[in-house]
Amino acid sequence: MNRLHILSLSLVLAIFSQTIYVTSGFRTGGLGEQQFATPGVQALVQANRNAIIRKLPEDILQPIGQMTAVVFREQLVAGTNYFIKVKLGGRGRPQYIHVRIYANLKNKSRVDGVKFVNQYDPIEFF
């Protein structure tokens, strides 16, 4: 192949790979589109329940009860950061938190952040 063919092929591959990232809603390092929580995301919340509770402020007045993943966004890094809106079901009015869970390439996960939010607050990087 001559240099023109190689350059043309490289350009086509670059455009094609960028199209795949844009149409799938992912950009490496950026947050993906908000999606409804899947059973896999709910399982991630349940697997990290105790770590999430440890990161909550100590002055919570209600029992935590059920933790229900509502919506989430993903960030592709060397693994995946999951930004998840979680509904805390205890007695009284439900409360909502945003949880950031990092899952590495070997599917080990850890809770990197928790913050209280309102029901309709959008999920953003924190």
Q: Is the pTM of this model over 0.75?
A: no
Q: Which two tokens stand for residue 1?
A: 């192949």
The mean-pLDDT minimum among 24-28, 39-43, 72-76, 103-107 falls in 24-28
* C-alpha span between 34 and 82 (Å, rounded): 11
- pLDDT of residue 74 exceeding 70: yes
Say if residues 71 and 86 touch (Cβ distance below 8 Å): no
Q: Which two tokens stand for residue 11?
A: 């350009």
- Per DSSP, the three-state class of 31 is strand
CA distances from 16 to 19, 22, 24, 29, 56 (A): 5, 10, 12, 19, 44
* C-alpha span between 120 and 3 (Å, rounded): 54
Q: Which two tokens stand for residue 9?
A: 């092929």
The β-bridge relationship of strands 109-117 and 79-89 is: unpaired
- pLDDT of residue 100 exceeding 70: yes
